[in-house]
Every structure is written in structure tokens, then in C-alpha cells.
Homo-oligomer: A and B are copies of this chain.
Amino acid sequence: MILSGFAIRHKIVGGGHRQILSIHMRGEAVDLQNTLLRTSDHSVQMLSRGDVALIARSKIEQLAFERPAVGKAMWIDTLVDASIHREWVANIGRRDAKTRIAHLLCELSLRLKVAGLGDQDNYEMPLTQEQLADATGLTPVHVNRSIKYLEAEGLIERISPRSITIGDWRKLADFGDFNSQYLHLQDGEPALA
């Protein structure tokens, strides 16, 4: 459970390349997967110094089954997680680089807002361009070019490399083929039922 900072889950494939599987921020339970499924199929890593709370596996299971409401919430958490994975499959598999980056910028925009870590149209990018590359299945060089393109098109502004300002949110979302449905947010809150 992340209290502050950012975490990622990733895998290293044969050629030594890395794929970032998901990005996690304050208030999210990163590792229910590895808790219930005994063998871990990926690695978890903090991006920066931050605080996490550890909860024993046995406590989790106990809680889940003694308190149905909590159990359901945890289950739904894993389902939302899977939903985001599916959108990433589609994003990486079928969108070109510029669209892909725009899509991720939109996802982060909304999720950071929900976590209380930024404004919907102005936030601090938690990832380096190299990490963005590993998240989108691109190279750092091409990530840079895609960001520069979005900037040149006026879809985003950047006063420093990591600050993202979205002038017209709707326009970026359209360009990035972004529909927030897959995040399963309700009234700007994480889904609970």
C-alpha cells in the first residue's frame, strides 16, 4: 500500500529490454496479485523515495473473507487493475507512438488528480522519458520526439521537461483516443461498487 511516492511493476524480457506493466501512486495497493498467487510473475519497484505500508498476507485474506464489503472492494481493485492492463495492451498494440504517449498523458492526468497529486490540466510527470519509453514499448528517443510533437501541435505545454500543462483537455483526449471509462472512476473517485 503506497502512502507517498510512485511505484512501478515491470518485467525484463529476453533481449534485456524492460517493459513497465503499471504505474502506482498514493493510495493504491500494488501487490494483491503477489499476495494471493504465491509465485510472483514480475517485479515491483519504487521510482523515488516514498513510504509504503506492508500488510501481512494472512491479514489480507482474513479481512477479505470476514468483512464482505472489504473483500468486495479488494476484488474490485484487482478488476480495475486488470482493466487498465487491457487498455495498455490496446494502447501498445494498436496505437501509433504519438497517440500512445498522448493517451498515457491523459491517464496520468486523471489518476494524479484522483490521488490528489496534481490538477487535471497541470501536473508533474513522475516518469523520466526513458521510463515512459519502457511503459509504452518505444525508445527514449522516440518518446522525446513524440512529446515534442505534441508540444509543437499545442496539445501540451512544458515550462520544464517534467511539467505537463494541458491547454485543451478535450483536444488531447481526442488526439490520444482516450476514454476514461476503463479507469472505472465514479464522480472522480475510485470505483467501489
Contacts and interface: CB of A to CB of B under 8 A. Distances in A.
A113 interface: no
Nearest to A66: B68
Interface string A26-63: 00000011001111011000000000000000000100
A13 interface: yes
Contacts of A41: 83, 86-87, 181-182, 184
Size range of the interface on A? 35 or more
24 contacts: A11-B86, A14-B95, A14-B177, A15-B94, A19-B89, A21-B86, A33-B79, A36-B76, A37-B76, A37-B80, A37-B184, A41-B83, A41-B181, A65-B68, A65-B71, A78-B78, A78-B79, A81-B82, A82-B82, A82-B85, A85-B85, A85-B86, A85-B89, A93-B136
